[in-house]
Structure 1
Amino acid sequence: MQKFVVDKDDNSQTVNAWYRICQDKQLPYIIIEKRTKYATVRWDYFSYTKENEEKIIDNQNIYVEELEAIFQKYRNPKSKPRIDGFGLVYYFDIEVEKAPALAEELYDIVVKIVG
Structure 2
Amino acid sequence: LSPELRPPIEHCHPDALELAVEKLVADKAYREDLGRRAYEFVRANYSPPIVAERYLRLIRGDIPAEWIVDPGRLRYFMGFGLTEDRCRQFLSDTLRIGGTGSLQLADKPELERLIVEFADGQTY
TM-score (norm 2): 0.29
> Which has more helix, going by share of residues?
2
> Which has more strand, going by share of residues?
1
Higher relative contact order (CA 8 A, sep 6+): 1
- Larger Rg over CA atoms: 2
